[in-house]
Copies of this chain bind each other. A is one copy, B any other.
């Protein structure tokens, strides 16, 4: 072999525990608040939505939480995921930088989402739950929970944002192959959905609306719990298998990163890669920058305010302290559907507020430009969300070339783009829009934040 390209861990190296960043933070994160009373939430408040094991994970301060065997067994389908050195991309960029990427697209869902879908489904099953309700935007999360439901024998109902439901029939079909029920949101199957439809019969929906529907579904049925694909502490926790593996793989490569990059929509992909590295840094075991890359269409970390807000449009969820653009702000219809959330995970927001992580926002066209360059050199077609991270990785590599200094760059390639080809087609045809930041719309939405 002339050069080492791939860093593979055998299945015995699948992490045995999830890593909890809370244990290493210099201060405790702000509590979640009850949507009605405004008081800090207790475990019982969340019991209608989640099984107790996940509620306890949500508030845990332990550094490590053991991964049960049935979940590690399912992880074996694709974990440990590979890490690659991007030799061909480096050469095309003529950069002295070393670029590494961790690839989560090898999962059966095609993204990092099964890391938490498998865990959530199993913990629900283990407490006797037989049905899960959830929402999905671009469809990566819905697909992953559909697979998890099939593997563990749970019914799954997916409220899919109407715009995606219409534009991405293949994602809908995929969930149905796995046996899930999929409806377009807003739907006539919930009270909230019917309210929205009464006012706007042709509503394209939004992630916030779909969350409201799924929460209502779960609260109203005894056999059903709610499942969320990002934002919450336990979801971020499950994703930390990514960063833990990457730390081992960078050791195999014999290098230490100067910068660790991941895209951030709700925040779980970023946290999954960055938090294990951040913990190491906080414990004095390494030093590097951690960069969250969001979309210019939903720039909560770079343009939002840090405040208590709801996770959904109907104000049914707990209030969490996060960077937000307002719970009823609806981002422009960019193709990176996973980066169209109005808020950011409270733990990611808190680390940003503490100055522990950086954030940058990227427009559609430069992100797709980076994605096409990546596909043509590295061979893998990235998800539109991942293209945001690639853009910043390439910019870092170009800066290293300018400065004539080496730099070690690690980014998370969170998924493949096999279901996003019409977006690539539109990019190649020059038909993608880079939307202006909607300052007025955000200001109006922020004026409707809850008073805490």
A interface list, Cβ under 8 A from B: 1-6, 8, 10-12, 14, 69-70, 72-74, 76-77, 84, 87-88, 106, 108, 110, 147, 150-151, 169-170, 173-174, 176-179, 372, 375-381, 418-419, 421-422, 424-425, 428
Contact = CB atoms under 8 A, between A and B. Distances in A.
A178 B375 contact: yes
A419 B419 CA distance: 8
B10 A8 contact: yes
Indicate the member of A69, A74, A174 with the most B CB atoms within 10 Å: A174
A88 B173 CA distance: 23
Contacts of A178: 375-376
Nearest to A252: B10
Q: How many monomers of this protein are in the complex? A: 2
A122 to B, nearest CB: 13
9 contacts: A4-B11, A6-B11, A6-B76, A8-B11, A77-B84, A77-B378, A173-B421, A177-B421, A178-B376
B73 A1 contact: yes
A211 to B, nearest CB: 25
A170 B421 contact: yes
Given A150-B376, A418-B418, 15 more contacts: A1-B69, A2-B73, A8-B8, A73-B87, A77-B378, A110-B418, A150-B375, A170-B418, A170-B422, A173-B422, A174-B381, A177-B375, A177-B376, A177-B421, A177-B424
A418 B173 CA distance: 10
B177 A372 contact: yes
Contact of A3 (B4, B73, B177): B73
Given A170-B421, A173-B424, A73 B375 contact: no
